[in-house]
Amino acid sequence: MDHQNTPRRIVVKVGSQVLCDANGALNIPSLASLAAQVSDLGQEGWQVLLVSSGAVAAGTGVMKTEAGAKKLQHIPNAVTRKQALAATGQVRLMETWRQHFNARGLTVAQVLATRSDFQTRRHYLNMRSCIEALLDCGVVPIVNENDVVAVTELMFTDNDELAGLLAGMLNADLLCLLSTVPGVYDRAPGPAGPASDYIRRWDDKQYQAEEIVQRGTSTLGRGGMHSKIAVARKTANLGIEVVIADGGSENILLNVVAGVNVGTRFPAQGETSPAKRWLASAQASTSGSVTVNAGAEAALLDRSRLTSLLPVGVEAVEGPFEKGDVIQIRNNAGEVLGCGRSRYDHEEAEKLLGQRGHKPLIHYDYLFLQAAK
């Protein structure tokens, strides 16, 4: 690999099933191997951010063997029960990571995040500055969702989503999603029919996620392969290469960065500005929305030109939202096209509906369009 003056960055997400067994006990050999590989990557010039699942699963293991298990079963609220498990398991998980990274001469830092950290530009930049400072100091940030305070509306879909958002935030060179399968299978594995093989290189024109992946989640985690593909496609469209691979495979991270033909690779698609990467992270928590007409939809989706959203192309406004808020853009069928930072508040936007001769409602520089499904 070529060594460059600018550090290369990789975001590594490790799933619960890689880190824990079915009973919630931490898989020590797996943690030790990953810590060793992260250390080796640091020696090769990589800055590594680790998104670690496993707190809730580890908490389950703790509560099965220590006092309090019976009392925990009597907590009727599922969110509260999960928060208690996360608070218990996070201690064990982080201490185990600390021990194994310390053995390699590395310091770790705990970073807990909720969706609200990505909602406003100010919070987003503050979080980015903190993580970049840690990376520049040679510290390994270990990020997890802040399950202890997260409620349903502030929860990420799963840690795959969180990892994708962080990769965009840091303008990472690579996002690696580690699970317990070698990659994305070309069809759902099953006892009958021809044997499945996994896809080495994803191509949107060749593959449709709905046709080859069964929906569902694992026993320990919230995410499934369908979620991983969605995150991988979105992140690749921000200009970041993504690999879905088996976290239990020997030296998997070293092989991925060396270009060895392992896992399913999603090639980076062009480059995206920092502002658009923030918008990509904020689109799940928009303040309002606008509906555009067919002409505006066609203009926005025409990738051969740079187009802002003008008031003349807007048919309806749903608020409330303020000037500078991120709002969703929909077509007449109700499909989400993307999002953007509004130049007007919702009252002014309603007054300008369908009118010509006004400044854009959303300028191109602050407009993020989703990849086609």
**Backbone phi and psi for residue 26, each to the nearest 5 degrees, phi listed first:** -70, 140
**Backbone phi and psi for residue 112, each to the nearest 5 degrees, phi listed first:** -110, 135
Task: Annotate 83-147 with DSSP letters as a single string.
Answer: HHHHHHHHHHHHHHHHHHHHTTT--EEEEEE-GGGGTSHHHHHHHHHHHHHHHHTT-EEEEEE-T
Total Cβ atoms within 10 A of residue 108? 21
Lowest mean pLDDT among 3-7, 62-66, 190-194, 348-352: 190-194
pLDDT score, position 190: 56
Could you tell me which of 319, 320, 324 has the C-alpha nearest to residue 363? 324
Domains in the chain, start-ordered, CATH in brackets?
8-276 (3.40.1160.10), 286-369 (2.30.130.10)
pLDDT score, position 65: 58
Q: Is 215 a residue whose pLDDT tops 70? A: no
This prediction's pTM? 0.82
Rounded distance between C-alpha atoms, residue 302 and residue 297, angstroms: 9
Confidence of residue 212 (pLDDT cuts 50, 70, 90): low
Question: What's the full length of the chain, in residues?
Answer: 373
Rounded distance between C-alpha atoms, residue 264 and residue 209, angstroms: 13
Inter-CA distances, 140 with 10, 119, 212, Å: 11, 25, 36
**Residue the block writes with tokens 């810590």:** 35
The rounded Cα 19 to chain-centroid distance in angstroms is 19
Rounded distance between C-alpha atoms, residue 99 and residue 91, angstroms: 12
Rounded distance between C-alpha atoms, residue 144 and residue 268, angstroms: 25
Contacts of 22 (CB under 8 A, 6+ apart): 219, 220
Q: Is the peptide bond before 311 cis (omega within 30 degrees of 0)?
A: no
How does pLDDT run across 161-183, given as a tens digit for each residue? 999 999 999 999 999 999 988 88
Q: What is the mean pLDDT of residues 184-205?
A: 71
How does pLDDT run across 217-256, given as a tens digit for each residue? 444 444 578 889 989 998 998 899 999 999 999 999 999 9
- Region label for 239, one of left (φ > 0), alpha (ψ between -120 and 50) or beta (otherwise): left
**Is the torsion defined by CA of 336, 337, 339, 345 positive or negative?**
negative
Rounded distance between C-alpha atoms, residue 258 and residue 57, angstroms: 32
How does pLDDT run across 81-98, given as a tens digit for each residue? 778 888 888 898 999 999
